[in-house]
C-alpha cells in the first residue's frame, strides 16, 4: 500500500499541539528554486518588505511577503507541490486556499529576536482551520530556530500583535485582544518545543500557536532562511482588526464573516 502523504501521528500532533515537524516535505529541486526565489526577492524586495536590523548592526533580519504573483517559484511550490494536500490533511479540511508566502531570513550574526506572538490577530482572517509551513532552506540547530508553546492554539485567547522591529504591541489591549504574556519569565510553566532542521524540513503550525525565535548570533554560524507558506481551510472567513492587518491586503469585495473568495487567495484543487 502507498504511504499516506501525512502520517496519522502528524495529523493528531498538529491538531493537539498546534505544531508538528514534517521531515523532507519539500524536494531538493523545490528547495533549489526556493533558494533562487529568496535571492531574487532580497535583491528586489516588494513594497511591503521589512528590514528589522539597523544599518550599522551586525547581521540582518529580513522579511517580505505576498511576492508569489511576481516570483514564480513561490507560486509553484505553494500551489503545485504536495504542500496543499498536506495542508488539507493537517487542517482536516475539504478545501485549501493559499493565503500568502512569507520569507524570513536571519543572516549570520543577527541579534534581532522574533518576539513571542501568534499570527492570527495580524491577519484579516478568522477560523480554526489554517496552517503555516515554515520551510527550512538551511540546516538550523534547534537553539537558533523557531520555538512553539505547545497547545496555546487552543487557549481560546487572542493577543495583540507585536512589531518585529522592537517587540512593542500594535495597540493597547481591549475586551478581545490581550497583551502577549511574558513567556520568557514563565517558561517553566509551559511545554515549549523547537527542532533541529535540515533543508527541506517543514515545521507545520497553527496561526493560533504562540511562537518566537532568538537572534542567530552566537547560536549558529550559517544563514537562517525560511519561507512560510500559509494556507486556509473550510472555516476561514474574512475579518477586520482594530489595527491595520498584516499583510495589508485591501478589503475590496471581501465581506467580513465570509470566505476569502478572491483571486488574491486562490482555491487550490486538491483532488
Could you tell me the three cell numbers for 266? 486562490
Q: Does 193 bind ligand AKG (CB under 6 A)?
A: no
Nearer to ligand AKG, 1 or 46 (CB): 46
Nearest distance in Å: CB 138, ligand AKG: 12
User: Which SS3 state, helix, strand or coil, does residue 63 take?
Assistant: strand
**Whole-angstrom Cα distance, residue 116 to residue 19?**
15
Among 20, 67, 130, 132, binds ligand AKG (CB under 6 A): 132
Taking residues 207 to 246 in sequence order and writing x for each that binds ligand AKG by CB under 6 A, - otherwise, the string is ----x-x------------x-x------------------
Among 14, 62, 134, 238, binds ligand AKG (CB under 6 A): 134
**Whole-angstrom Cα distance, residue 221 to residue 201?**
19
Nearest distance in Å: CB 102, ligand AKG: 6
- For residues 170 and 243, the answer to whether their CB atoms sit within 8 Å is yes
Angle at 268 between CA 42 and CA 235, to 5 degrees: 100
Nearest distance in Å: CB 269, ligand AKG: 25
Nearer to ligand AKG, 4 or 61 (CB): 61
Beta strands in 5-78 (DSSP E): 19-22, 50-51, 61-65
The answer for 134, left when phi > 0, alpha when psi is -120 to 50, beta otherwise, is: beta
Nearer to ligand AKG, 8 or 153 (CB): 153
Could you tell me the three cell numbers for 234? 473550510
| Site residues, ligand AKG (CB under 6 A) | 102, 104, 114, 119, 132, 134, 146, 211, 213, 226, 228
Amino acid at each position: 500500500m502507498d504511504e499516506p502523504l501525512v502520517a496519522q501521528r502528524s495529523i493528531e500532533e498538529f491538531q493537539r499541539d498546534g505544531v508538528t515537524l514534517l521531515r523532507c516535505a519539500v524536494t531538493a529541486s523545490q528547495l533549489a528554486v526556493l533558494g533562487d526565489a529568496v535571492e531574487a526577492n532580497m535583491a528586489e524586495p516588494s513594497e511591503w518588505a521589512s528590514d528589522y536590523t539597523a544599518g550599522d548592526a551586525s547581521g540582518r533580519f529580513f522579511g517580505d511577503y505576498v511576492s508569489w504573483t511576481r516570483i514564480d517559484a513561490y507560486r509553484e511550490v505553494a500551489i503545485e507541490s504536495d504542500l496543499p494536500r498536506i495542508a488539507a490533511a493537517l487542517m482536516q479540511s475539504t478545501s485549501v486556499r493559499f493565503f500568502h508566502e512569507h520569507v524570513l531570513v536571519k543572516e549570520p550574526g543577527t541579534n534581532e529576536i522574533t518576539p513571542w506572538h501568534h499570527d492570527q490577530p495580524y491577519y484579516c482572517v478568522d477560523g480554526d482551520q489554517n496552517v503555516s509551513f515554515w520551510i527550512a532552506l538551511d540546516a538550523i540547530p534547534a537553539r537558533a530556530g523557531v520555538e512553539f508553546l505547545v497547545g496555546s492554539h487552543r487557549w481560546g485567547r487572542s493577543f495583540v500583535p507585536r512589531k518585529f522591529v522592537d517587540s512593542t504591541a500594535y495597540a493597547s489591549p481591549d475586551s478581545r485582544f490581550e497583551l502577549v504574556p511574558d513567556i520568557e519569565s514563565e517558561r517553566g510553566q509551559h511545554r515549549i518545543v523547537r527542532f533541529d532542521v535540515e533543508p527541506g524540513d517543514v515545521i507545520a503550525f497553527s496561526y493560533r500557536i504562540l511562537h518566537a525565535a532568538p537572534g542567530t548570533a552566537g547560536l549558529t554560524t550559517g544563514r537562517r532562511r525560511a519561507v512560510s507558506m500559509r494556507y486556509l481551510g473550510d472555516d476561514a472567513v474574512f475579518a477586520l482588526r482594530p489595527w491595520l492587518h498584516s499583510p495589508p491586503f485591501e478589503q475590496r469585495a471581501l465581506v467580513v464573516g465570509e470566505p476569502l473568495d478572491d483571486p488574491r487567495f486562490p482555491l487550490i484543487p486538491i483532488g
